Amino acid sequence: MDVATHHTLEADSIWLAYQEQKILQNIYIKLETGHITGLLGRNGTGKSCLMRMIFGTLRGESQSVRVNGDYISHPYLQAGLISYLPQHNFLPKQLRVKEVCQLYHVDFEAVCEHFEALQQYRNTRIGDLSTGNVRLIGTLLVVLLPVSFTLLDEPFAALSPLAVEQMRKVILGQKPHKGILISDHSYEDVVAMADETYLLVPVGRSIRLKNVHSELAEFGYI
């Protein structure tokens, strides 16, 4: 998609249940390029499920994802549209760092421009890296992919404080030409970056926050 143009992604009518357990009920959320959108909620409120439904890899009772008003049935299949950072490691353990960069079409040197210390791991296999460094590389690859929308599920988890600070800068650097959805329990980092913030509350409703801190307290998140 043309990076110079403003794009919107709207997800609505999102309903999800497992057996009798309702998880998401009629969620609406809007992303737009040039914006960072925060997604908060207590453990188990459905943030990861919502991201997977927006990405298109999880089907619920109903879901509608529209990009610039056009319905997209499987967003993840559309080239250049969307990237998604899941909570678990998704990088093949047997591949070397430089090889996973090639796989994702992201220049290894570009990755190291943001995190100089990763230079030493060019030829290291993913399976031989520390948990934090695997997360760091996976997050960087997803963030740097040239797509219009990026969904980040806990991008700050497992990162040291300095790495969180640097990752925030990298994400903010992508903001001018991307719409970014971030969920992380390091909520102050999310709120500080977000142009708008949604809170998922039981059972499965989304609230777009106006007075973020007071409403986070009011709804029992903090």
Contact call for residue 45 and ligand ATP (CB under 6 A):
yes
Q: Where are the extended beta strands (E) located within the chain?
A: 8-18, 21-32, 35-41, 62-67, 70-71, 82-85, 149-153, 179-183, 196-201, 205-208
Contact call for residue 53 and ligand ATP (CB under 6 A):
no
Task: Identify the residue among 46, 56, 75, 155 touching ligand ATP (CB under 6 A).
Answer: 46
Contact call for residue 56 and ligand ATP (CB under 6 A):
no
Q: Are 161 and 192 in contact (CB under 8 A)?
A: no
Task: Identify the residue among 9, 29, 49, 112 touching ligand ATP (CB under 6 A).
Answer: 49
Kind of pairing, strands 149-153 and 70-71?
A: unpaired
Contact call for residue 127 and ligand ATP (CB under 6 A):
no
Contact call for residue 179 and ligand ATP (CB under 6 A):
no
Contact call for residue 47 and ligand ATP (CB under 6 A):
yes
Closer CB to ligand ATP, 95 or 201, in the complex: 201
Instruction: State how far the Cα of 100 lies from the Cα of 96, in Å rounded to an integer.
Output: 6
| Residue numbers 15-44 binding ligand ATP by CB under 6 A | 18, 23, 41, 43-44
Contact call for residue 178 and ligand ATP (CB under 6 A):
no
Count of residues in contact with ligand ATP, rule CB under 6 A? 10
**Residue 86: Cβ-neighbour burial (10 angstroms; 0-12, 13-18, 19+):** middle
Minimum gap (Å) between residue 61 Cβ and ligand ATP: 14
Task: Give the helix ranges, DSSP H, for the chain.
Answer: 47-55, 97-103, 108-114, 131-144, 161-174, 187-193, 212-218
Q: Which parts of this chain interact with ligand ATP (CB under 6 A)?
A: 18, 23, 41, 43-49
